[in-house]
Structure 1
């Protein structure tokens, strides 16, 4: 192929390069010619304008002189002198071989400087010497002004003709470039059509035929250039593709079967994972999963599942697939299956897949070949079957690990609940009973000393203490029954407000603005208890008609709780009046590391303001 490339008599790339260079050269020549022509006409308009202004200035000088306005006439003369000395006229003044335009310019300028200007100067001088004397008609240079205007008109005409001639030259250059471009374009178009378009059409047709499945199609590209070489390559390629296609067809069939097997395995693993995650609070049906796994594996393979405790040496669960018999390993130490049967042996009868997670063993999946049990040579597991069994063992390990984790969570929940009950009893009921015990001791001493006058106040204290203890017991029962269901804190608060409306005449309203903020279960429970206790105190003691509950996040991103009523306000020593209600509120606020303020509002009623920083802001 390299020899053929070096032997091109007429390279297509060289031909295109020459055509492009020709087009670029013609374009550059045209551009530079037009730039030169336009540069020649750059100041023609200004020259016409300046030469035309000379006529107007000559008129103004004559008019000012005739009206004896010497100062103005002198100013006009100076302006005209500056115009004749304009840098634009340097070319006409310095030209060695003076053309007609330069000669017209020199005649007009000479007439002004040598003839007309001295006469104006003389008239202006005489007018200055005798201001009241009118200039004589015979002395005014009328003929010279007319001659100056005639020379100036001829100069303007010369500038105009010079500009027009340059424009004609510009048009000639444009027309010449146009004809040359058309001629060169026609040549290049014909060259590309015969040497590029036709061979490309043949190659495109060959590619289309090959793409449609005619892999043996052969194209005929004439010539001795790159496209001819490409045509020969396409012919060889079509033959190679036809050969490769047969091999690929066989490979695709094998890959399709592998993908089908992998897809079945993935569906099984996905369904298994879904069942494990969706039945987190329930027990897994391992028999059903094992039957489904055996159905996916197929073949003459029988599966068994053995599950162990961490310390046990015998399986607490031994399951075989449906219509399968359990082997003798159920009657012996099955843990040997994990160590004695590696998963990479040659026989399917020797496969065992341990069920382990985080260095904890939960059991093993045993794989037996039915052909070996029937005295025939066993068939080894395919790679996808081995991978599926190993992944299924990992899924079973995950399910068993989640089951262990669930049991641990239940134990922790029970311990936490008992701790909360013990703390609530200690903080409320135990204190009340201790107080009653002290009063009983006082009563006993009054009986021993026969101080009968002191017994009645002690009995009254005992009666009040018993009532307080009974009330606290009821509050504890309400607290222990209190729960936050799937509706969250908002649903629980709405239920509390609904119960308050049913048990009192106060108009209770809830303004909940924490819909988009996550709160931990502990924060939700304490907030619910604080709101319930403060609202109950307002209903029992405020004697008001309205109760507003606001829960929102303030500018500092703290959770803000406001409970306000329009009652009589909070009395002095409210702790003794309401027993332990306010103490319970303050205790729960300390658990949330928050700030609580209970005070009488200036407009009347009581305000309970509580703020704390939610745990999700701590990262």
Structure 2
């Protein structure tokens, strides 16, 4: 019969039984020990009564005062009462039985007579008093001996309990060892033997389930595992071959997907990208031909963008397909990857394919952001079917193609926007500097022509001088613009670029220049550095044109925000009545600062110099596009 109790229940039962027996033994031992302790105290008290008897005899013979004799007899009465009633505080109690009760009654009776002899007047003769005292002491001795006899019995019982406890401890150890062997070691041995047989390929091995405990459950699991291994081992070779083929196919798909993705990421030419994609997908899917079609904006037409192994006649006939006119070109948003059998050459959508000999067509929509961008068509000269993994692979490849093409389109748009922005910036720079200088030169040329026609030598000389100054100013502006557009920055440090800008300014103007750097902070992005340099160059240009300064200082304070300070010792200006060309320079600086989220502050007074401060937030991202940054660099 199976034992249905679990292993933990069995161990708890055994342990509880042993614990109960141990507690009972300990309780009995403590009880006997307690009785022996109280009996020892009773023996001590009975021994005191012998001493008290002799003291009373001596006191009577010495004819001590009656009060002292009364005091001694009171102490004896107390000892008798303690022996009779016991004292839990000491503890003290007599181990009563019939013999001890009889001896105590004898002592109590003799004490009542002896007490009268101790207190009688006149006192008894010495010889008679001693004889009565000796008789009383003999009665006390018999009482003490009865207590000792009872104590000996209790001691024997205590020794017996100790022997029993030792036997119980040995028996408990034996029971625990046997239980461990029966419920743990023996089942584990059977499991070990079974595992060894499994290791030697004896999959028919089964173990007997003799209980329903944890080891019984493990044994049942072992039997199920052995049965499963036996069934698996029977057709293992076929399963290994099938699994190997699946893994090889999956590896091939993953390698193909990685190769196509790497190709799309590295190619920057649209024609090369689409043609290379078509070739790689055709080889990956083992198709006879492939066509890559792209739709127009309203998805009414599909244009043949690239193909591989597609017959020339089909390329000519299907350069442009109207949506829905053929099995290829499905503009519906819910279009999905389909395997289309080509069974009848008389049906219009299949005429071209059937004439070539194709029997199957796989149509894969290329979509992005819920919009159908194009379609991939794979042609086969045999009937094909796709597994779920292959459907997923084709959808993934189509998604990568859409991302790559749209990415190239976005890069092209960004590049066009960057070029347009740079042209606008260049036009504004030319208008704000060179154009105004040329207009000034035109006016001076007209004044010169008028002076020559009037033979006015003074005005002629004045106009020539103005033309010469204007030409010099224009040449300086052109050089400054070239300096602006040749500006380069370091990847992590703008300090070096500022130093080079100051050196060029010094060679151009001859002014004394200096630079100080303080603080620590994260480096500015490269596009932000370019705009910062242009703002500083514009500030230096204003110094050259308008300040009449002797020295210029640039201070760089790293941190958040970064601060760039351009300070000169020139004539300064009145911000309320400043010149229009100076306003243009300040406007250019502020516009450039706004593009990177920075702020320009100008502090100036007449004859007190000018301080321009540019504050740039270190963590604020640039508003420029990547293409625009490349163009600026």
Give CA-to-partner distance per residue, 1:434-475, whole Å, 9 cap, x none.
Answer: 444555676678789998766655554444333323322332
Tell me, in whole angstroms, the C-alpha distance in 2 between the residues paired with 1:517 and 1:573: 34
Mark the runs of 5 or more structure 1 residues left unpaired by the alignment: 41-91, 104-168, 372-377
Give CA-to-partner distance per residue, 1:518-558, whole Å, 9 cap, x none.
Answer: 5472x3332011333456777996555x96552412xxx32
How far did residue 19 of structure 1 move?
Answer: 0.9
Tell me, in whole angstroms, the C-alpha distance in 2 between the residues paired with 1:31 and 1:525: 93
Mark the runs of 5 or more structure 2 residues left unpaired by the alignment: 36-80, 93-156, 342-358, 624-633
Distance 1:255 1:170, change over 3 A: farther
Give CA-to-partner distance per residue, 1:565-600, whole Å, 9 cap, x none.
Answer: 8xxx22244999999679635631354251334569
* 2:411 maps to 1:406: yes
Aligned equivalent of 1:584: 585
Query: Contact 1:355–1:393 at 8 Å: present in 2 too?
Result: yes
* 2:474 maps to 1:469: yes
Match for 1:354 among 336, 340, 365? 365
Q: Which residues of 2 match residues 38-77 of structure 1 at below 5 A?
A: none
Aligned equivalent of 1:126: none
Q: Which residues of 2 match residues 152-191 of structure 1 at below 5 A?
A: 180-191=168-179
Q: Which residues of 2 match residues 88-237 of structure 1 at below 5 A?
A: 96-98=85-87, 180-210=168-198, 213-219=201-207, 231=219, 234-235=222-223, 237=225
Aligned equivalent of 1:570: 570
Aligned equivalent of 1:17: 12
Match for 2:613 among 575, 589, 609? 609
The Cα RMSD (Å) is 5.2
Provide the secondary structure at the position in 2 that maps to 1:345: strand
* 2:564 maps to 1:561: yes
Match for 2:338 among 336, 344, 351? 344
Distance 1:592 1:326, change over 3 A: same
Equivalent residues, number:
479
Give CA-to-partner distance per residue, 1:136-179, whole Å, 9 cap, x none.
Answer: xxxxxxxxxxxxxxxxxxxxxxxxxxxxxxxxx99999998676
Match for 1:552 among 549, 552, 558? 558
Match for 2:316 among 324, 330, 339? 330
Match for 1:303 among 290, 296, 299? 290
Q: Which residues of 2 match residues 354-373 of structure 1 at below 5 A?
A: 354-358=365-369, 361-371=372-382
Query: Contact 1:443–1:455 at 8 Å: present in 2 too?
Result: yes
Provide the secondary structure at the position in 1 that maps to 2:338: coil
How far did residue 316 of structure 1 move?
Answer: 5.6
Q: Which residues of 2 match residues 254-293 of structure 1 at below 5 A?
A: 254-280=242-268, 284-293=272-281
Distance 1:249 1:538, change over 3 A: farther
Provide the secondary structure at the position in 1 that maps to 2:321: coil
How far did residue 410 of structure 1 move?
Answer: 1.9
Query: Contact 1:513–1:551 at 8 Å: present in 2 too?
Result: yes
Tell me, in whole angstroms, the C-alpha distance in 1 between the residues paired with 2:199 and 2:388: 36
Aligned equivalent of 1:532: 537
How far did residue 202 of structure 1 move?
Answer: 0.6
How far did residue 246 of structure 1 move?
Answer: 4.2
TM-score, length of structure 2 as denominator length: 0.60
How far did residue 427 of structure 1 move?
Answer: 2.4
Distance 1:228 1:403, change over 3 A: closer
Give CA-to-partner distance per residue, 1:94-128, whole Å, 9 cap, x none.
Answer: 9943599699xxxxxxxxxxxxxxxxxxxxxxxxx
Give CA-to-partner distance per residue, 1:297-346, whole Å, 9 cap, x none.
Answer: 23x6432334465479573633214xx64451432333542139974235
Tell me, in whole angstroms, the C-alpha distance in 1 between the residues paired with 2:32 and 2:465: 125
How far did residue 356 of structure 1 move?
Answer: 3.2
TM-score, length of structure 1 as denominator length: 0.61
How far did residue 243 of structure 1 move?
Answer: 1.4
The structure having more radius of gyration, on CA atoms, is: 2
Provide the secondary structure at the position in 1 that maps to 2:360: helix
How far did residue 423 of structure 1 move?
Answer: 1.8
Provide the secondary structure at the position in 1 that maps to 2:303: coil
Query: Contact 2:291–2:304 at 8 Å: present in 1 too?
Result: no
